[in-house]
Structure 1
Amino acid sequence: MDDIYVFCWCVVGLLVLGTSPSIGDLEAEPTCLSRFDYDYKMLQKIVSLEQTIQNLKDSLTESKNKIEDMSRENEQKIQNLKDLLAESRDKIDSGSIYIRWGRFKCQNNAEVVYKGFTAGKKWSDKGSGSDVICLPEDPSWLNYSNSNHLRGSVYGTEINIEEPSGVFEKKVNDQNLPCVACHIKKGSVIMIPGRGHCYTGWNLEYKGYLMTEWHGHPGPHNHVCVDHHPDFMQGGGENNDDHILYLTISKCGSLPCPPYANDRELACVVCSK
């Protein structure tokens, strides 16, 4: 505001000291009777100029206040837009989903999308799907014909393993496996075969053993990571020989040993970040 005061007083100086009255001005000005009268009239002009300066100062102050108010409003609008953008980003980046094979429940930090039954092709079928799937426990139907002609087939999954195995912490042979789809807010999930622990910077979702079909069964078949402490389906335990999972072992040769070992059961881990 000091710059404003300097500017205004410069205007006063120019008006008072730098202006020479013209003949028309002398005729228009009332005649001064004395030096006092002249000084009085000049004082009146100075007072009028000071009032004009004060009015300018008030106007500038009002404009400054309006600009500050507009700046605060704009800052609030920008913050609101940032908050809206962050909220939209959270909705777009909605996390990741993985299947926890052999369990009914997810970890505490994960949301259950659905629970179900581990399933796949019959071990002796040449066709049908090669992947292991997690069928929901509450199916719903579209159109159907109840025909078995020219169809693929899906069976429930059981574990086939010699007991005692020394691998799982409890008896698992011929038990039917559940599964659960888990949702986490983290953006990345990876299943790492051949590891029992996550790498640094990654969070453990669950650990277990790499399982697939026996190598002598018609294939192909994919691999899944079955929880090291599995749950079992109620009423299971019979040897149905439908879709069967076996432990997977490493074989030396093209696979270097060490670090791997021949005929050793492979662990697996599901990690998030």
Structure 2
Amino acid sequence: MLVAVTMTPHGRPVVDADDPATWPGPLAKHVDELARGAARTGPADYRDLSLFGYEDQVHRLLDGHLVRAWHCTRLLDHEVDAIRSQGLRRLDGNLVEGRLGEAHRRGLLTDEQYTALKAKHSLAPGMKKRGRREGQVCLAMSTAAFLDEPDRFWRLLAHWGGESLYAYHEQDPDLAGVLRSLGKPAVVSALIDLSDPRAHSVFTALPNLFVGKALGTQPAHAEVFYRFDIPAEHIESIAHPGDDDYDRFPGLVRM
């Protein structure tokens, strides 16, 4: 196999699930064997393949590599600069309240709006949590998702502040409008380490994603709940509407 190798500043090759030419040889061989078996006996849908016993092995075959993934969000200009200089941080209360406080300090939120949003988000004291996003960065593992199911990303790209904030205010006609007016949609391309099978959660599982790509019968994709911060040197790009890397996905939010 001819391998197209992209190296990070730290000398680690990059694996892109969308590009089999970047898959390391042992991984490509293992995935090919699984795909051949699935083609003979497996269900038609890659998500239904019974590959649970291979998860640890596929993760460990990525040892020494970084995997390309995409984080969908909505960012203010100073937040774009912060990601470029500091990277992506896992969700916690300090992150949410820091974003709110900085937007308020810059005059982008009124006192009343700031107070209401600060009092009601998933990590605010006394709030009943919705979902399980704390301590994670959520990323798509394939751009096939942006073409196959773009509506999945509408809320993330249309509302500033992230799911932990907008989920509590999207039915409020005033605050929902505020969250949709702040910032602009952004797709952040990042490089992550998936070699530890216990550190993160991938759905659909990593073997299913790679085998689905090898079979090529469906637009295979998955998402990862990544439990480490992503350093600035592992941020490849931040694309907005009007940029080629964003506009190649016509179903994503435009404004």
* Alignment TM class, shorter chain as reference: under 0.3
- Higher radius of gyration, 1 or 2: 1
From the two aligned structures, give the one with the greater strand fraction.
Answer: 1
Q: Normalising by structure 2, what TM-score? A: 0.19
